[in-house]
Amino acid sequence: MKYPSVYLIVLNWNAAKLLEETLLSLKQVTYPNLKIIVVDNGSIDESVKMVKKKFSELHLICNKENLGFGEGNNVGISYALEQNADYILLLNNDVEVDPEFVTELVNVAESSAEVGMVAPKIYFFEPKNKIWYAGATVNFFTGVCAHIGLREFENGQYEEVKETDYICGCSMLVKAEVLRKIGMFDPIYSPAYAEDVDLSQRAKISGYKLLYSPKAKVWHKVSSSSGGDINPTKTALRIKHNFIFFKKFAKPYHWLTIIPYIGFATLFFLLKQILSGNFGIFASVFKGFFNVLKSLFGKK
């Protein structure tokens, strides 16, 4: 049986404990033609020392500074392409994996030449039967990108291989030929958020299928490496980068519905935060929209 080469890239920044747990989990992976690359984004903690001491067999790339999610991963992707990888598999530094997850992803990817990217079924780390990602949707009329199955408990749902609108950067398998054709992550989304949606959209435009593989399973310690599920920095970046994405790919007529929908959705979100006593979120929302206005109407 032929096993295409898979270069698995784990990007890390100041998360030695999380990284160690992820790398220990990867030791259980059964796929025989797997090469693991750790890309460290200028950490000042014990991350690099830990990898050199406990995982010396892995290839370690040390960036001099924190390049963010997209550009940091691009360093690892460039190396993998130079090594003539067949596939590049990106994996967050805060996940644990099923031993068969690489095999399942590759099986789906190899099922057709049209398949360009594949995603696993992603669960919350705790509780382990709570779904975080089972495919995703991009709605060009509402300006909303959303995970399918988010916060649902496992009950046998979402168990079929299916097309998806985007592959989450938390864990994505990409054919090397796709990256050679469409390029890597767009640095416009630095430091993080929406670059995975952008890459997925470019792959779709180039004629590739994006598939969700439910038999491939990973568990995500959601946002533990970026400070919680809702925080001001993340909220501002998500708002800004969401608009950048739709500015790139939406048609003019889409904005007739995107703008009012986002306006009402934001008011509802703010009301919900008020009722929850989370008053600090206001500044980040307004900062996000200020950055949106600059990105929409300012100079590039």
Does 77 share its domain with 139?
Answer: yes
Whether 240 shows a pLDDT value over 80: the answer reads yes
* pLDDT beyond 90 at 146: yes
What type of residue is 44? I
Q: Is the pLDDT of residue 91 over 80?
A: yes
Same domain, yes or no, for 242 and 144? no
- Residue 258 in domain: yes
As a whole number, mean pLDDT of residues 239-246 equals 90
Question: Is residue 202 located within the same domain as residue 242?
Answer: no
Same domain, 73 and 106: yes
- In this model, does residue 5 exceed pLDDT 80? yes
270 falls within a domain: yes
| pLDDT score, position 227 | 43
Q: Same domain, yes or no, for 12 and 159?
A: yes
Residue holding tokens 């990284």? Answer: 19
| pLDDT at position 296 over 60 | no
Of 220, 255, 276, the last residue of a domain is 220
175 and 52 assigned to the same domain: yes
| Range 166-187 average pLDDT | 98
Pairwise pLDDT comparison (206 vs 228), residue with the higher score: 206
- Kindly give the pairing relationship between strand 144-147 and strand 131-133: unpaired
Q: Are residues 256 and 201 located together in one domain of the fold?
A: no
Residue 226 lies in a domain: no
- Statement: residue 225 has pLDDT above 50: no
Q: Which of the four pLDDT bands, split at 50, 70 and 90, describes residue 223? A: low
Q: Is residue 66 part of a domain?
A: yes
Residue 1 lies in a domain: no
Q: Give me the number of domains the chain comprises.
A: 2
pLDDT at residue 228 tops 50: no
User: 52-56, 237-241, 281-285: which has the highest mean pLDDT?
Assistant: 52-56
To the nearest 10°, the Cα dihedral for 15, 166, 189, 192?
A: -20
Q: Would residue 227 count as lying in a domain? A: no
Residues contacting residue 124 through CB under 8 Å, at least 6 positions apart: 130, 131, 132, 219, 220, 222
- In CATH, what number is assigned to the domain containing residue 44? 3.90.550.60
Say whether both 197 and 263 belong to one domain.
no
User: What is the overall mean pLDDT for the chain?
Assistant: 92
Q: Are 129 and 234 in contact (CB under 8 A)?
A: no
**Are residues 170 and 104 part of one domain?**
yes
- pLDDT value at position 153? 97
More confident residue, 152 or 277: 152
Domain co-membership, 96 together with 29:
yes
Cis before residue 127, ω within 30 degrees of 0? yes
Range name among 51-55, 64-68, 282-286 with the lowest pLDDT average: 282-286
Task: Name the E strands within 19-139.
Answer: 34-41, 59-63, 87-91, 95-97, 115-124, 131-133, 136-139
Give the rounded percent of residues in the chain with a pLDDT score beyond 70.
Answer: 89
Same domain, 246 and 173: no
Question: Do the domain assignments include residue 58?
Answer: yes
Do 205 and 237 lie in one domain? The reply is no
Decide which of 220, 252, 270 is a domain's last residue.
220
CB-based contact 211:115 (threshold 8 Å): yes
Binned at pLDDT 50, 70 and 90, residue 65 comes out as very high
Whether the predicted pLDDT of 123 surpasses 70: yes
Domain around 266: 232-297
Last residue of a domain, one of 174, 198, 220: 220
pLDDT band at 116 (very low <50, low <70, confident <90, very high): very high
pLDDT of residue 267: 78
Please state the rounded mean pLDDT for residues 150-156: 96
Q: Is residue 225 part of a domain?
A: no
* pTM exceeds 0.95 for this model: no
